[in-house]
A and B are shown apart, each in its own frame.
Chain A
Amino acid sequence: MMKKKATVFLTLALAASLALTGCGSKDNETKTEGGKNKVTLTLWHNYSGDDQRAKTMRSIIEQFQSSHPDIKLDVQAIPPDGYRTRLKTVAAANEMPDLFVMWPGVMTKEFQAGNLIQPINELLDSKKEWKDGFLPGSFDGFTVGSDIYSAPIALSPTSILFYNQSILEQNGLQVPKTWDELLHAVDVLKGNKMTPIALGNKAAWLAQSSIFSSLADRVTGTEWFLKAAAQDGAKFTDPEFVKALGYMKQLGDAGAFPAGFNAMDNTQMEQYFAQGKAAMMIDGGWALTNLATSASAEAMAQMGASVLPSMPDGKGDPNTISGVVGTGIAMSNKVTAEEKDAAYELMYAMAGPDAQKRVLESNQLVSYKVDLDTSKVTPIFAKVYELVNTVNRTPVYDGVLGSAAADEVNNGLQELLMGGKPESIAKKIQEAQARAVQTDSK
């Protein structure tokens, strides 16, 4: 009998300990020390990685902390992959940090609609020179009405035509400037058993973001795309969009991409190009950090960057690159009037002219006019920097479309490159975007 009781007791103890370990891991709350005048600010960022940009941003924050003893920073560095999810979770619970890294576009609009953030026009207007230093359109994604909610610390052009000069020369080719030249180059390279354009589309967004966003813009023009995205006077079933899909299919049918490109990822494609296995690659500004680490100095010297070729009878400006402005620091609605000055100071330290310069020298493009010291970056970075500053920017498909429609574009392009029909893919994209616009307006 005793034995039974002991077993019961043990079982219960085990169960209790299981239940308790679940809730025992809560962090101790840190208390703020110091006098009453000391301001405490919480800051969440995703500069937690080992890349040059993240290190630069972290050192900027540390320097700010040591030079401002009257401001106490409570900083949380969150790994990039989980950052958005965590931010959305605290947003749902209305427990936002005072300052945090925020994306332009959809996220800014959502937070603004939820009354979670406050505008920083005051700060921008007080530093006119700084505000004017940003490239045109830098604030568009952070603006709702006349209120600006953040200033970008990065720029991501998504469709740069990278090429390998020596491979093109060996095949008697030049950098293609028109669609026909590109198709001709594909033909010649194919004939010489060289992969024309490196592509790794396993994650499906790459063909959309890097190739199609620019290609379609050249065919349809930006105005048409923005109208179609708003479902206001244009539809994705319109002939110009179907035509753009047709060109994309033509490129696939011509054999421009390596075999099995739908099973390769973005990094593998960048290495493929870096190793000289393909003559060209259409990729975004993010390729630069990868090329800096995986390409040899010789290979890098052969690399050049250009815009995508122009399209026959295109309505869009061919001297453009699709791209998005990167993240910036936003301020929570809960920051009080007394804390505001300190918050502004930190924002300026992280996005001001000095910070922009340091970020740029970390091989990360910025949406700000800075004179680049080319000795501090890789040669291909310097070329891309020059290119980006001389062309205009057009929207990226998944930066404008709702996520369901963007997903349809991604999958549709995969289907298209495997032999799908432009018309039926256009129809699916149209349906998804129409539904998204409809539910948003409810």
Chain B
Amino acid sequence: MNSANRTRAFIAVGLLPALLLFVTFVILPILWSAYYGFYDWKGIGKATYIGFDNYAEVIQDPVFWKSLQNNMLIVAASVFGQVPIALVLALLLMKGSRLHTFIRSAVFMPMVLSSVVVGIIWGYIYHPEIGVLNFVLDSIGLGSWKQQWLSDPDVSMYSIMVPIIWNYIGPYLIMFIAALNNIGSDMDDAAKIDGAEGSRKLFSVTLPLIWDTIKVAVVLCISGSLKAFDLIYVMTGGGPAHSTELLASYMYNNTFSIYRYGYGSAVSTTIIIVSLLLVAGSQYLMKRGDRL
């Protein structure tokens, strides 16, 4: 009893520093920003309480809905792009041969680059004048496929998905490889004895065993995509004419370009609510998948 208490006390003390930092730098700012959302405030000067006016404006602003829609596209591209690609790569690259290690590092590489660098690189690839992509299309005789990749609102969101997927496959790949390596060799033996091989083994043994990791990856993917900002900021700034606006860039522009701090705070609170709903929803869906 005594020793159990002591362990608990130790755990509490051990958690305390991280908890304190988390509360100070994450929880408190969220509450503060929700509070500022009730004010009409320019950053300096007087703040006037205006109740739910900011929130009402958020819901009525077509640009907000456009950003939400774009953000959902990014979430979908990430969940159905990053996670499956990372999973397939992980299954293929599980073994530690030299070639596999090399490809793994190559896939992880973009993650090490600063996203500003990634944004600039892809900005140049898509560039209307000096872009590599249009140049390559021209030189292999596919000139008719040339596009204004970043400034044509019909294609720009899809152009942006590519670097986003490319950039963030790395960490999921590493997570999946770690999970796959955690499956004990006894499982392999058992599967072999039961005659499970190939896709049968994949769907009945391997995937169920790493299902928890996949769930974590999906949650990280959703929350990461809702925070997406840096690549968009560098590549298009949310433009032209809001056509690539995301929730985070919409919030940033309102707060720091137009100096509507109160309204920007209301937007960020709304983003948190949307994220929580999405994460909860995805958890619920995957739980049902569990039971089946």
Contacts and interface: CB of A to CB of B under 8 A. Distances in A.
Interface of A: 4, 7-8, 11-12, 14-15, 18, 88, 91-92, 110, 114, 201-204, 258-264, 268, 272, 403-404, 407, 411-412, 414-415, 417-418, 420, 439, 442
Given A11-B14, A404-B260, 11 more contacts: A15-B16, A110-B44, A110-B45, A204-B240, A258-B129, A260-B127, A260-B148, A261-B151, A263-B151, A263-B236, A403-B257
Given A204-B240, A411-B241, A259 B128 contact: yes
Interface residues of B, number: 34
Would you call the interface of chain A mostly helix, strand, loop, or mixed?
A: helix
Interface of B: 6, 10, 13-14, 16-17, 20-21, 40, 43-45, 48, 123, 126-129, 148-151, 153, 236-237, 239-242, 253, 257-260
Contacts of A442: 48
A264 B242 CA distance: 16
A204 B150 contact: no
Top 5 A-B residue pairs of the complex, sorted by shortest distance between their CB atoms: A260-B128, A15-B17, A262-B151, A415-B241, A262-B240
Contacts, number: 93
Given A8-B10, A11-B17, A272-B129, A203 B237 contact: yes
9 contacts: A15-B16, A92-B44, A201-B240, A203-B237, A261-B151, A262-B150, A263-B127, A263-B148, A411-B239
**Interface core residue of A8, A91, A263 (most chain B CB under 10 Å):** A263
Contacts of A263: 123, 126-128, 148-151, 236
B237 A202 contact: yes
Nearest to A8: B13
A8 B40 CA distance: 47
Given A204-B237, A407-B258, A420-B241, A4 B10 contact: yes
A272 B130 CA distance: 11
A404 B258 contact: yes
A418 B240 contact: yes
A259 B152 CA distance: 10
Contacts of A202: 236-237, 239-240
Contacts of B253: 407
Contacts of B13: 8, 11-12
A91 B44 contact: yes
A301 B21 CA distance: 61
A418 B153 contact: yes
Nearest to A204: B239
Contacts of A404: 258, 260
A14 B128 contact: no
B259 A403 contact: yes
A403 B126 CA distance: 30
Contacts of A7: 10
